[in-house]
Amino acid sequence: KNEVEQSPQNLTAQEGEFITINCSYSVGISALHWLQQHPGGGIVSLFMLSSGKKKHGRLIATINIQEKHSSLHITASHPRDSAVYICAAVYGGSQGNLIFGKGTKLSVKP
Amino acid sequence: ETGVTQTPRHLVMGMTNKKSLKCEQHLGHNAMYWYKQSAKKPLELMFVYSLEERVENNSVPSRFSPECPNSSHLFLHLHTLQPEDSALYLCASSQDLSWAGGEQYFGPGTRLTVT
């Protein structure tokens, strides 16, 4: 069964802390997406990666194909980073299934 | 107006009503999607359209009926819904139909409550 597991489910951090959110998947995938969903529902695509590492500002996404694992890191976290972070794995080729994790709810306190 | 827009943002409807959700993308994309997000559940892909042709229907009940009249507009027609259909309905678009080829751009969603 194609599954996507995220951890932790909830995360509370102090402003300035380094944050890591994890995503693991069950079998080979062709790509993995990281999304950010703010209160109110709007979703923003952060990264799409199939190997290695990508960086955008304070956000870094990595993927380890052998270990079937991806991480999203936030450096120098800020209260505006508070959101739900969702990973989604692409199974079955580039036009295959997109399976979503349940999300990690991050709250950054000032 | 830019990006992906959805109307209405909130909708309350009875089980016997008929309503429609509208999505419009101003990005020149070729693929559009409907997602459902229920409380405490992962996002679920409902329908996929590529160049106005439906390419995916993920076992969605027939009380949900999509329509894509052109590559910029996507509708979700609703009739005889059940209370368990209450959820956030999100529309998205992407340049091409390839989840491994690029990112998706999401609309703000329609919060639907079925009474």
Condensed to tens digits (0 to 9), the pLDDT of residues A44-83 reads: 999 998 899 999 999 999 999 889 999 999 999 999 999 9
Q: Which residue of A has its CA nearest to B88?
A: A41
Report B:27-86 residues touching A (Cβ under 8 A).
37, 40-45
Give the mean pLDDT of A13-36. 93
Q: How far is CA B21 from the centre of its chain?
A: 7
Structure tokens at A107: 């709250």
pLDDT at res. A29 = 85
> Has residue A94 got a pLDDT over 70?
no
pLDDT at res. B2 = 66
| Top-confidence residue, B78 or A90 | B78
List all residues 6 or more positions away from A12 whose beta carbon is below 8 Å from its beta carbon.
Answer: A106, A107, A108, A109
pLDDT at res. B101 = 62
pLDDT at res. A28 = 80
Q: Is the bond into A8 cis (omega within 30 degrees of 0)?
A: yes
Question: What residues pair up with A45 in beta bridges, in sequence order?
Answer: A35
pLDDT tier at A98 (50, 70, 90 boundaries)? confident
> Has residue A34 got a pLDDT over 60?
yes
Residue B23 identity (one-letter amino acid): C
pLDDT at res. A17 = 97
A40 contact residues in B (CB cutoff 8 A): 108
> Has residue A40 got a pLDDT over 90?
no
Identify residues of A whose CB sits under 8 angstroms from chain B CBs. 4, 30-31, 33, 35, 40-45, 48, 50, 86, 88, 90, 93-103
B42 contact residues in A (CB cutoff 8 A): 4, 86, 99-103
Count of CB contacts below 8 A, A vs B? 59
pLDDT at res. A90 = 85
Contact B52, B70 (CB under 8 A): yes
Mean pLDDT by 10 residues, chain B (115 residues): 88 93 95 91 89 78 94 95 95 82 86 95
